[in-house]
Amino acid sequence: MRWKPLDRLRLAQRLLLLLLPALLLLSLAELRVTAQDVQRAADTAYDRSLLGALKSIDANVSTESGGLSVELPYRMFEFFELTASGPVHYRVATADGLVELGSADLPPPPAPLRPGVPVFYDGRYFGEPVRLVAYTRELERPTIESPAKQLVIQVAESMQSRAEFRRLFVRRAAIANGVFLLLTACSAALAVMLVLRPLARVSEAIAARSPSDLGPLDVAKLPPDLRPPIAAMNRHMQRIAELLRQQRDFLDAASHQLRTHLTTLRMQVEFARRERDPAQVAEALAALEAELQRATRSTNQLLALARSDTVQLQPAAFDVQALLQEVARQFLPAARQAGVDLGVDCAPQQATADAGLLREALANLVANAIAHGGHGPVTLSAAQDGLGWSMAVEDSGPGLPPELQHSAGARFLRPALARGGGSGLGLAIARSVAARHGGVLRLEPGEGGRGLRATLWWPRAQREEQAP
């Protein structure tokens, strides 16, 4: 399946569907904060202008004539009205309200005034919202009409100009945020397309391969962020390729092994059908029985080998001495028939491993020792130390030829001088079981340099193999 540009576009769309709501919420939150900041900034700027108008009025208040008078600087007042985009109202009065000039019905301040401290507040005048500043100070000379010694000055202006300023600024901020969201969406879509382009090349390279091509993908030209998953995929394909190779080798060797047994059985049956001498027929039937036993053993070993390669380990504590004795009892009749002294030399001890797989490996080692170890004794033993455990099978036969020291344990490999009709799978099964436990199968001369000692060793810190 190829990675089409439409697939990348759909992935970009899904990414945008996840990102845009979050970006929209962030944009709205930013717009709200901006509106609050603009309102504070506008109030600060316009309040300074309003305070300037109040101080200008205060500077022109006089009581020299015995009454209260204000000489307004009309040009400056017109400037204030122009700045406020509307009328500016004022009130100058004594603290007791007996003498006042200007707009007498301006909204009073929300709290008592303190001398010399201007107070800004919002109110309504003639149904319109206004911004006011109120101020009080001591009169240098009281008026004739009022004994009050304090003067109150109020100035009010329309909030139309402030509202227009805030709306204009917030509108511009909203447009900027909208443009930013649009650019972010386009940039995200473009970034997704560019980021996924290497994956598209990898997908096309995989799609162009044949089903049997499990070679590694080239990671040299990929971005650093994509190299780890592709490298992990390469390792996985390598394990699959190795597993397929082992399966092919196993099927080829197993089919050859079983075909040999079937051919031999067919020839012996044909010989028995043609033979008229009862003694010869009995001899052919005995040979047929022996071949059936060899075919059965080969089949069981093939199944055991396949199981040792793929079965999941189930490590648990078990009694090593009991396991050795159980295997020895299993092969005691075969050992007596072959004239072999089969014994166990092991003290009671505990180990941790998959006892079922170890029993299978040990049984194959004992069967090999009985079949190829001559008529001398065969001894099963076990040991342990701080690193791990071991179980050994030692015979007193001819031992392993030097030329097979390095290749011993390969599947379907039998020494040329080996007696019997084995399939060469015993050591392979034992080696596979040892490898599954993270250990090894050691083949070395027995005591005094005679015979063969096969030792199955595995460590205490076992690690189950995930793939053969």
- In this structure, the answer to whether residues 325 and 290 fall within a common structural domain is no
State pLDDT tens for residues 215-261.
787 777 777 777 788 788 888 888 888 878 777 766 766 675 577 66
The answer to the question of residue 172 being in a domain is no
pLDDT recorded at residue 401: 67
pLDDT recorded at residue 266: 78
Question: Is the pLDDT assigned to residue 304 strictly greater than 70?
Answer: no
pLDDT recorded at residue 464: 41
Chain length of the chain: 468
Contact 364, 304 (CB under 8 A): yes
- Percent of the chain at pLDDT exceeding 90: 12
- In this structure, the answer to whether residues 365 and 304 fall within a common structural domain is no
Domain that holds residue 408: 312-459
Mean pLDDT for all residues in the chain: 78
Residue scoring higher pLDDT (396 or 249):
396
- In this structure, the answer to whether residues 277 and 297 fall within a common structural domain is yes
pLDDT recorded at residue 120: 92
- In this structure, the answer to whether residues 291 and 397 fall within a common structural domain is no
CATH number at residue 455: 3.30.565.10
- The amino acid at residue 328 is A
Helices (H), strands (E): how many in the chain? Answer: 8, 14
pLDDT recorded at residue 219: 74
Average pLDDT of span 10-18: 72
pLDDT recorded at residue 428: 79
Beta strand ranges found along 27-78 (DSSP E): 61-62, 69-70
pLDDT recorded at residue 389: 94
The answer to the question of residue 93 being in a domain is yes
Calculate the CA 366 to chain-centre distance.
47
From 310, 345, 380, give the residue that closes a domain: 310
d(CA 14, CA 6): 12
pTM of the model: 0.45
State which H helix or E strand residue 138 sits in: strand 128-138
Q: Which of 128-142, 298-312, 421-435 has the lowest mean pLDDT?
A: 298-312
Distances (CA, A) of 286 to 115, 269, 289, 296, 423: 131, 11, 5, 15, 20
- In this structure, the answer to whether residues 113 and 127 fall within a common structural domain is yes
Number of domains in the chain: 3
